[in-house]
Amino acid sequence: MRKKTESIHFMSIKKALSVLTAAAIGAALVSCGGKDGSSSSADSKQEDVGTATTAQESKPVTSAPVEEKPEQVTTSAEKIIEAEPLEYVEFTQNIEAQEGLYSENIAEREDETASGGKYLIGLSDGWSYDAEIPATQYYNIVLVVNSPENQKSNISFWINGSEYNSFTTDGSGKFEAIGFDNIRIEAGVSTIGLLVDDSEVGLDYIIITASDTVAKMDLTYKEMPQLSNKKATAKTRAVYNYLAQCYGKNMLSGQYDTVSTTAETDAIYSLTGHYPAIRFGDLNQYTESDSYADDVENAIEWAENGGLVGYVWHWADPMGGGGYYSKGAADVPEEMTTDFDITQAVTELDIAKIPISDLEVMCSEGGITPQCLAIVKDIDTIASQFGLLQDNGVTVLFRPLNEAGGGWFWWGKDKDAYMWLWKLMYRRMTELHGLNNIIWIWNGQHPDWYVGDEYCDIISADIYDDGGASQLSAFLSLHRISANKMLALSECGNAPDVQMLADEKTLWCCFGIWGGSYVIDEYGNYSQEVIPADKMIELYSNNIVICRDELPDFNKLAEEIEKADAAQAQKDKENNESEQTKPE
């Protein structure tokens, strides 16, 4: 059995402090003379450790320009990870409450709505049952419980001595079914238990059923998915195709760097001998007042050296009045919050393709609000940076308006306003600014906030856990939102357990470990405070995780796509001419 400890949420105080730490690191690195965060690097160039053998043995290796590298201090032999074979065995068992082990303080009570007309009440001393599990596989467990009317009670659900999850009854006074799906339980005797904080909680029965969800899951594409933007550049299509080809078999490694540095990615290289496949950055400084920004220059250099580029955008108050967190967000420093109201920006007018000069006139005449104009100006600011990336042949994995469903950012105040903003940004960047180098990542953190398949290319979750936890529940939740999209672990605070992900068939298309104090200390050196060195080395030294030196040459792949497009266009032209010359 694997304990379910993942939480799909944003650890606001921890991450907020990490952001502040990262800012301090950036300042320290610049003061040490290293814009790239390599102040602790050796003066001499170090040769790369070579390409590791992976499951994708046929993929080409990027021919990257020579670059200055930080000192490499550790290498590790590649570990071969193979998914544990899983065979589905049908099984269902109904367990009446009276069949379990419980103290004499627990009473049996009659109720015509209960199974068999009776149930147990008074579970404050605990209840357990030793279930004979026929095979190591995944199981769904349903608990049928009740609590007095208008009294919500907390119940802790345990498996084999460890708390698996907890929940609160609805206080309806009626029996309710609480389900937990896809729990991995080993063959043999497993003890299922309940602990409650209320002597009036009742248990009717439990059902254990074998689940075939994981056994049947197949993430490989029978037909390659298409980007939402049909005008995407050949390079962007090449990147997306590669992700789709790897999906379900490999994961691309990713690391967030402190803004305007390569501190974290350099630390990863120094420790593991590999750079991550994706360097993730933050666009926050480009739309903050009195803030110097040059991170895109780092992104261009990273791409020139064969890596992929990703960006999140922690978008500060568009009116310049504060940070990006909503007022009242739990445990967030006041200087990082804002009272900017996104609902005041929404307009029914289609402004996606209207030039900013015309919008300024409309605002002065009362056609749109100042909040709306401020939002569009910021979008245009970011669009100009993406235009620079496009001019340099760089594809961007872009994750805007992140974690909206949590409500802790200003763009998450209202679902309808968020939908309006996402579609405005998407259309303005693609239709007005002609940005065809973007792979759009949706990260709304709630299915009700999904923008639709036509407005994104990848959907993702941010998971901050203690490490080694199952991510199956989160993965399946996203898969239910859209089975057509690849799934990404867009933020995490720990090294993913690759063996577990392989066993559970939940290999994300990529992952991104948050930066700052999650990875480095105040001097930019690798820190083991969150992720032990051996765990990080193992993460970067196996046949599943793809590193930068293992990526293909996307420029060559783009050339192949362009040739295929030209050949298809010529064929279509000839077919059209043939149709036109046919006698009537």
- In whole angstroms, what is the distance from residue 518 CA to residue 509 CA? 22
| pLDDT of amino acid 4 | 34
Mean pLDDT of each 10-residue bin along the chain, 584 residues long = 36 46 44 35 31 32 49 71 93 97 93 95 92 97 95 94 94 96 96 90 97 93 92 98 97 97 97 98 90 92 98 96 90 91 98 98 98 98 98 98 96 97 98 98 96 98 88 94 96 96 96 97 96 97 98 98 94 82 70
Q: pLDDT for 313-333, tens place per residue?
A: 999 999 998 899 999 888 899
- Going from the C-alpha of 150 to that of each of 108, 174, 201, the distances in angstroms are 22, 11, 12
Check residue 10 and give its pLDDT. 37
CA distance 127 to 158: 10
Fold annotation for 92-211:
Jelly Rolls (2.60.120)
The CATH H-level (homologous superfamily) assignment of domain 12-30+225-561 is Glycosidases (3.20.20.80)
Task: Give the 3-state secondary structure of residue 72.
Answer: coil
Q: What are phi and psi of 64, to 5 degrees?
A: -95, 150
CA–CA dist 99, 109 (Å, integer): 15
Following DSSP, what letter does each residue of 152-192 receive, concatenated? --EEEEEETTEEEEEEE---SSS-EEEEEEEEEE-SEEEEE
Do the beta carbons of residue 524 and residue 62 sit within 8 Å?
no
Phi/psi of residue 282, nearest 5 degrees: -125, 135
CA–CA separation, 157 vs 160, rounded Å?
10
Residue 196 CA to residue 127 CA, distance in Å, equals: 9
Which residue carries 């690391």 as its tokens? 255
Cα 395 from Cα 312, distance rounded (Å): 14
Q: For the chain, what's the residue count? A: 584
Res 76: pLDDT? 66
Beta strands per DSSP E along 35-136: 92-96, 101-102, 107-110, 118-121, 127-133
Per-residue pLDDT, 400: 98
Q: CA of 293: how far to CAs of 285, 307, 479, in Å?
A: 5, 21, 36
Is residue 489 within 8 Å of residue 464, measured between CB atoms? no
The CA distance from 304 to 555, in Å, is 10
Percent of the chain beyond pLDDT 90? 77
Task: Report pLDDT for 31.
Answer: 37
Place of tokens 């690195």: 29
Domain boundaries, the chain: 12-30+225-561, 92-211
Quote the pLDDT of residue 357: 98
Count CB-CB contacts under 10 A for residue 381. 13
d(CA 39, CA 25): 11
Pick from 149, 455, 275, 307: nearest CA to 298: 307
What letters, b where the CB count within 10 A reaches 16 and e where it falls short, cover 529-540?
ebbeeebbbbbb
The helix or strand, by DSSP H or E, that contains position 399, with its residue range, turns out to be: strand 396-399
Number of Cβ within 10 Å of residue 464's Cβ equals 18
**Please, what is the Cα angle at 163 between 159 and 166, to 5 degrees?**
110
Q: Residue holding tokens 């036109």?
A: 580
Q: What is the pLDDT of residues 281-312, one digit of tens each?
A: 999 999 987 678 899 999 999 999 999 999 99
pLDDT computed for residue 17 by the predictor? 43
What is the pLDDT, as a whole number, of residue 576? Answer: 85
Instruction: Judge whether 268 and 515 are in contact, CB under 8 Å.
Output: no
* pLDDT number for residue 468: 79
User: Can you say how many angstroms the Cα of residue 40 is from the centroid of all Cα atoms in its chain?
Assistant: 31
Work out the end-to-end distance of the chain between its first and last CA atoms, rounded to an integer number of angstroms. Answer: 72
* 489-492 long-range Cβ contacts below 8 angstroms, 24+ apart: 489/460, 489/461, 489/462, 489/463, 490/312, 490/399, 490/402, 490/441, 490/443, 490/460, 490/461, 490/462, 491/256, 491/312, 491/402, 491/462, 491/463, 491/464, 492/462, 492/463, 492/464, 492/465
Q: Would you give the DSSP letter of residue 256?
A: E
> What is the rounded average pLDDT for all residues in the chain?
88
